Amino acid sequence: MESSHPSHPTPSSRRAASSSSTAGRTYADALEKLALLRSNRAVTHLFDRPAAPAGSGRGDDDLNAAAIPEMLGWLRRAGYSPQDLCRMRHIHVAGTKGKGSVCAYATAMLTRYHRSSEDGGARVGTYMSPHLVSPRERIAIDGQPLPQDIFASAVFEVWDRLSEAARRDGVSAAEADGPASKPFYFRFLTILAWHVFLSRGVRDVVIECGIGGEYDATNVLPAEAVSAAVVAQLGIDHVAMLGDTVEKIAWHKAGVFKRGRRAFTRRLNGQPGIMGVLRARAEEKGAELVEVRDEDVEMWGGVEGPLRGGFQKYNQALAVMAVREHLGLCADDSALLRDTPEVILEGLGEARLRGRGEIVDDEDVRWYLDGAHNRDSIEGVATWLAREVEAGESLILVFNQQDRDVSELLVDLIHAMEARLGRRDVFGHALFSTNEIKRADDGEQAEDVSVQEKAASTMRSACPDCEVYTIDNVDDAVAEARAIAKAKGGRQKVLVTGSMHLVGGVLRVLEPESLL
């Protein structure tokens, strides 16, 4: 899911981290340029306005309808046409949940396949969102974020092209060089990704929708540029933009279906409304919808890897089928999983995502980070962590969840750990933090910690012997966890979970310079 771009380091700290040496064109300068762009949150908030009065001439549907023509205009201003995008072949991924995992799996499989074949020089581009620590995470080649110098150069190349287009349209020099002549953040990064891939000869691309599909910035891709589409798990999200039912949201997600191309999704036998929408949209678009059956996935079983959770085998299955379609390794649909080449399965087991099943060693602490934020993913975290816990060992928990019921998710974690380890005292200390990185300055309003207090109360009831803290910023939460670990002695284990925003904040505190 696309969200507003996270806060960046201060200009002074960014300059210290820069690796580009051209005066005024450093990596730090590139980050400053990006920070000037309208955030995606500001754009999505346009849909939160009260309904327009009858006869006003303003309909919120117009905001969606204008999206693709606007994006095509920005693409042309940057010097590209939709036909230029046909020089690449894209696996286009939409969905409410699981998009990132499908993209990570597809990237790993394609990268491993090319490295083991005669075209070992072929490269795989990936465009995903949002990022946890650095915007460079969004644009990767062969699974690696762009280096700072390449990212910075690309930002200024696209920025200059858009500025020049504005000057040709008669815009004053000052306005043309500024953010007013640029698209909002997600659109700019989308164009930036294509610019990088085309400039560097990338031909295989895995691309994730930001929000929806039909009107998403990535959906200017013509059918000739798409090898396969995927609609991952669906749910309620971005109601103002996409609708208030899963069926309405499914309509938007299926917008990535393309004429003459295959689209892969999980067959939901218990949700005929969703499947009816997806099938109707496939017929409307002239696409072939391939419905992956749960029994086939269960029989196949998936591949164990760093991205944990029993649900991941469904994301793996969608990725495998899309990659086989992309590579032309076709077979009968029922055999696509069963007869998958070994080299592709090896890649599947190598897929990684920052903040998902990630371990970071730091001084007296081994940090276990996973942005699990629903019951299924929390179950996966518990299975992963239970393998790491020694008999009688006590862990430190850092937890938050701002968008869902924090107490319900916390109880899910406690019960899941108890089911696997046979005891409820796994966490000796629990720190409930907001997602804000820094403590509020003097004179600023302190962060609301009512959610954290609710979680703390739940923890005291469920685990009376656990020492509980509420903290209003991530920086202090990390410092407190380190202090507790030091006092206990030895290498202590800390689980950070419940929210991708929290995990991203902790990573930024732990690695202030490494992924700017």
- Where residue 106 falls (left for φ over 0; alpha for ψ -120 to 50; beta otherwise) is alpha
pLDDT at 364: 84
Residue 356 marked as a ligand binder: yes
> In this predicted structure, what is the pLDDT of residue 307?
81
- Position 272 pLDDT exceeds 50: yes
The token duo for 313 is 């085998």
pLDDT for 235 equals: 64
**Mean local confidence (pLDDT), 494-499:** 96
Residue 476 has pLDDT above 60, yes or no: yes
In this prediction, residue 304 carries a pLDDT of 87
As a whole number of angstroms, the distance between CA 463 and CA 417 comes to: 12
Q: Is residue 129 marked as binding?
A: yes
Q: Are 370 and 326 in contact (CB under 8 A)?
A: no
Residue 260 contacts by C-beta under 8 Å, 6 or more apart in sequence? 223, 286, 287
* pLDDT at residue 6 is higher than 50: no
pLDDT of residue 62: 67
Region of 170 (left: φ > 0; alpha: ψ -120 to 50; beta: rest) is left
Can you tell me the mean pLDDT for 274-281?
96
In DSSP terms, 289 is beta-bridged to 263
Residue 8: pLDDT band (50, 70, 90) is: very low
Domain 87-122+203-353 falls in which CATH fold?
UDP-N-acetylmuramoyl-L-alanine:D-glutamate ligase (3.40.1190)
pLDDT of residue 283: 98
Q: Where are the domains of the chain?
A: 8-48+61-79+136-197, 87-122+203-353, 358-510
395-399 vs 427-433, strand pairing mode: parallel
Query: pLDDT tens digits, residue range 95-115?
Result: 988 899 999 999 999 999 999
Is residue 78 within 8 A of residue 195, CB to CB? The reply is: yes
Q: What is the pLDDT of residues 349-390, one digit of tens each?
A: 999 988 988 899 988 899 999 988 888 788 889 988 999 999
Which residue from 228, 192, 224, 187 is spatially nearest to 94, judged by alpha carbons? 228
pLDDT digits (tens, 9 = 90+) for 176-231: 999 999 999 999 999 999 999 999 999 999 999 998 899 999 999 999 999 999 99
Is omega for the bond preceding 130 within 30 degrees of 0, making it cis? yes
| Gap between the Cα atoms of 58 and 86, Å rounded | 35
> What's the start-to-end Cα distance of the chain, in Å?
21
What is the sign, positive or negative, of the torsion defined by CA atoms of 18, 22, 26, 27?
Answer: negative
Q: Please report, as a single letter, which amino acid is at residue 375.
A: R
Provide the mean pLDDT of the chain. Answer: 88
Residue 475, H or E segment: helix 474-488
Confidence of residue 467 (pLDDT cuts 50, 70, 90): very high
CATH (residue range 358-510): 3.90.190.20
Sheet of 365-370, strands arranged across:
358-362, 365-370, 492-497, 395-399, 427-433, 467-471
Q: Is pLDDT of 340 > 90?
A: no
373 assigned ligand-binding residue: no
pLDDT (0 to 100) of residue 1: 38
- Amino acid identity, residue 281? R
User: Which pLDDT does position 512 carry in this prediction?
Assistant: 82
442 vs 54: CA distance, rounded Å:
47
Collapsing DSSP to helix, strand or coil, 100 comes out as: helix
Phi-psi region of 185 (alpha: psi -120 to 50; beta: other; left: phi over 0): alpha
Residue 475, marked binder: no
pLDDT bin (cut points 50, 70, 90) of residue 300 is very high
pLDDT score of 58 = 36
Is 118 annotated as a binding-site member?
no
DSSP state for residue 4 in the 8-state scheme: P
Is the predicted pLDDT of residue 11 greater than 80, yes or no? no
Which band of pLDDT confidence, cut at 50, 70 and 90, is reported for residue 3? very low
Read off the amino acid at residue 42: A
- pTM summary value: 0.83
Measured distance CA(342)–CA(113) in Å, rounded? 10
Q: At what angle do helices 148-168 and 27-36 cross, to 10 degrees?
A: 50
| pLDDT bracket for residue 46 (50, 70, 90) | low
Contact 382, 413 (CB under 8 A): yes
DSSP state, residue 293: -
Query: CA gyration radius for the chain?
Result: 23
For range 439-454, the mean pLDDT? 83
416, 385 contact by CB (below 8 A): no
Most confident of 6-15, 72-81, 371-380: 72-81
What sign does the dihedral 173-175-178-180 (CA atoms) show? negative
Report the SS3 class of residue 509: helix
Residue keyed to tokens 């300068």 = 29
